[in-house]
Amino acid sequence: METFSRHARLYTHKMQRGLIIVQNLQSNRSLLVCSEDIAHDITTIRFQLDLGIYAHPSLQQEYEQLGLELYRIEPYRLLDDSQDLESIQRAELQALKEQERPLY
C-alpha cells in the first residue's frame, strides 16, 4: 500500500516508462533497469526477487542474504515516449559511476 500512495501517478490506466532503481540500502549498491511499464515492472522485480528467480545473480544472492527490508525498488526517472530509454540509462549509469556509487 505504501508504494501505491507514494507513487500514485504510476498506477493509472496509462503505462509510464522510464528507469527503475533497485537499491541496497545497506551497501548503497544500485541497479538501473529500463522499463516500458514502471508500475508493472516494480511489482515483477519484487516478485522475482522474492521467488529467487531474478536474472541478475549477484543482486539475487545479496537479496536472499539480506532480505527485502534492506532494498528499495522505485522509479528513478520518468520518460516520455519520444525519449530513448537505453541511451538515457547509459547516461544515468555514467553519472552514477562519476559519483562513485557502487553498482551491480
27-55 average pLDDT score: 97
Read off the C-alpha cell for 60: 539475487
**Domain with 55 in it:** 2-98
Query: Is residue 31 in a domain?
Result: yes
Q: Alpha helix locations (H) across 1-104? A: 2-6, 38-51, 57-66, 85-98
The span from the CA of 15 to the CA of 40, in Å, is 9
Query: Is residue 7 in a domain?
Result: yes
88-95 average pLDDT score: 97
Query: Is residue 104 in a domain?
Result: no
Query: Is residue 103 in a domain?
Result: no
Eight-state DSSP code of residue 83: S
Eight-state DSSP code of residue 103: B
37-41 average pLDDT score: 97
Q: Is pLDDT at 1 greater than 50 in this prediction? A: no
What pTM value is reported for the model?
Answer: 0.85
User: pLDDT of 7-19, one tens digit each?
Assistant: 655 555 688 999 9
What is the pLDDT, as a whole number, of residue 68? 87
What is the pLDDT, as a whole number, of residue 96? 96
CATH of the domain at 26: 3.40.1440.10
Query: Is residue 64 in a domain?
Result: yes
Query: Is residue 65 in a domain?
Result: yes
**If you average pLDDT over every residue of the chain, what do you get?**
91
Query: How many domains would you assign to the chain?
Result: 1
Q: Which amino acid would we find at residue 72?
A: R
